[in-house]
Amino acid sequence: MLSRRNFLRFTAAGAGAMLVAPRMAFASVQSDRRFVFIIQRGAADGLHIVVPYAEPAYATLRGPIAVDASTATRLDGTFALHPALQQTAQLYAQRQALFVHAVATPYRDRSHFDGQNVLETGGGAPYSVRDGWLNRLVALVGPSRAEAIAFAPTVPAALRGKIDVASYAPSSLPSPPDDLLLRVGALYEQDAQLGPLWRSAMAAREMAGGARGRRDAAGLGKVAASFLARADGPRIAMIETGGWDTHSGQSARLAAQLKALDAMLGALHDGLGPAWDKTTIVVATEFGRTAAVNGTEGTDHGTGAAAMVLGGPVRGGRVLADWPGLRAADLYEGRDLRPTTSLDAMIAGAASETFGLDPHRTMASLFPQTAQAKPLTGLVTV
């Protein structure tokens, strides 16, 4: 038998959303800029995504999984973009996408759980910081100007903290009839605790629109865009993607992963409409992968990775890299792409320029344990 609270949770999910939200009220938003963080859980292989085709050691290290540069999109004289990222390549050509290579957080071990914790909390070591850097960004911008939402079943660590945020994920359950929704709304209208939760669920349902039942990458991108494009919608968002841990059969698996990511980015671009010109998207992973292929045509946990910054105000058409090289002597611990750029500094620079904040103050607020690093600026038009 369903309790009142469990019935509310069930019917809200059937309405097209799994919602964890103390509130879903965005009417006070004043900022026109949007900031979206897309996490690649599982350690995405930056050498497979942004390919250093001109690096002499690349083809030898990668052997059967080396990306053929003739099939990829040449970004410059050194790097090419994986051929699955067709829409992303178009954004690069329009100078609305850039890539930062050989990046990493301060974390130097190879545990997914610890690496993701460092990435999401902005700490210098695993579990050294309790809240997430994205939640601290909401506080820095001002919660009345930058309401936040996670497009995930639960609020990820990056968005947890003192500021209340919403969480929304599409549901595959059939949509209930309008009559049922009206009856439930009337039932909880006067309930001080459940009434606001129900109204939040209905607000999320309305924002999601017709895309609310789709769970594929493009569908999730369309749902996120439907929220972010609204004049009264959230201004800070996080989207989770998984499946980037490619210990075997990497070529086919990463091609599918990148095609899905590309579709999500394309859906965000199309769905945001005019708001795209005010949106910055950062795509990053917890760490990279080994420089050499393993015995099952995959790669193992590594260090240096590649990150993306996309959006209308992005100063794109560039690959930023203090390239360390891939010779044996150049590799980190003799096996990984050596990180030469701070991912924390890149995120702080992109976030500060998006919202017109002081970059050093932003760095100190979002990444207090690595605040000595200089923010990487010049990424976004202020």
Query: Following DSSP, what letter does each residue of 173-201 receive, concatenated?
Result: SPPPPHHHHHHHHHHHTT-TTHHHHHHHH
CA distance linking residue 50 with residue 99, whole number of Å:
8
Q: What is the pLDDT of residues 360-375, one digit of tens each?
A: 999 999 999 986 789 9
In contact, 328 and 304? CB cutoff 8 Å? no
Encoded tokens for 382: 């202020």
% of the chain beyond a pLDDT of 70: 83
Q: Is the pLDDT of residue 73 over 50?
A: yes
CA distance linking residue 128 with residue 261, whole number of Å:
31
Q: What is the pTM of this model?
A: 0.86
With cut-offs at 50, 70 and 90, classify the pLDDT of residue 22.
very low
Question: Please, what are the domains in the chain?
Answer: 4-370 (3.40.720)
Please report the pLDDT score of residue 31 as a whole number: 67
CA distance linking residue 57 with residue 337, whole number of Å:
12
Residue 40's alpha-carbon distances to 90, 104, 180, in angstroms, are 21, 13, 38
Q: What is the pLDDT of residues 180-224, one digit of tens each?
A: 666 777 787 778 777 776 676 666 665 555 555 456 899 999 999
CA neighbor of 200 nearest in space, from 162, 176, 168, 160: 168
Q: What are phi and psi of 81, to 5 degrees?
A: -100, 140
Which DSSP helix (H) or strand (E) runs through 74?
strand 73-74
In contact, 170 and 200? CB cutoff 8 Å? no
Non-local (6+) Cβ contacts of 262 within 8 A are 84, 85, 86, 87, 88
SS3 content of the chain, % helix, strand, coil (to 5): 40, 15, 45
Q: What is the pLDDT of residues 279-337, one digit of tens each?
A: 999 999 999 999 999 999 999 999 999 999 999 999 999 999 999 999 999 999 999 99
Average pLDDT over residues 260-281: 98
Average pLDDT over residues 67-80: 97
Average pLDDT score over the chain? 88
Residue 158's alpha-carbon distances to 108, 240, 272, 292, 367, in angstroms, are 19, 11, 23, 31, 12
Residue 351's alpha-carbon distances to 65, 153, 209, 341, 348, in angstroms, are 35, 25, 28, 17, 5
CA neighbor of 160 nearest in space, from 198, 202, 116: 116
Residues linked to residue 103 through DSSP beta bridges, in sequence order? 305, 341
With cut-offs at 50, 70 and 90, classify the pLDDT of residue 29.
very low
In contact, 159 and 324? CB cutoff 8 Å? no
Non-local (6+) Cβ contacts of 148 within 8 A are 134, 135, 138, 159, 163, 165, 166, 234, 235, 236, 237, 238
Largest pairwise CA distance in the chain:
70
CA distance linking residue 376 with residue 100, whole number of Å:
10
Query: Where are the strands (E) in 95-170, listed by range?
Result: 97-104, 148-151, 166-170
Average pLDDT over residues 216-238: 93
Residues linked to residue 341 through DSSP beta bridges, in sequence order? 103
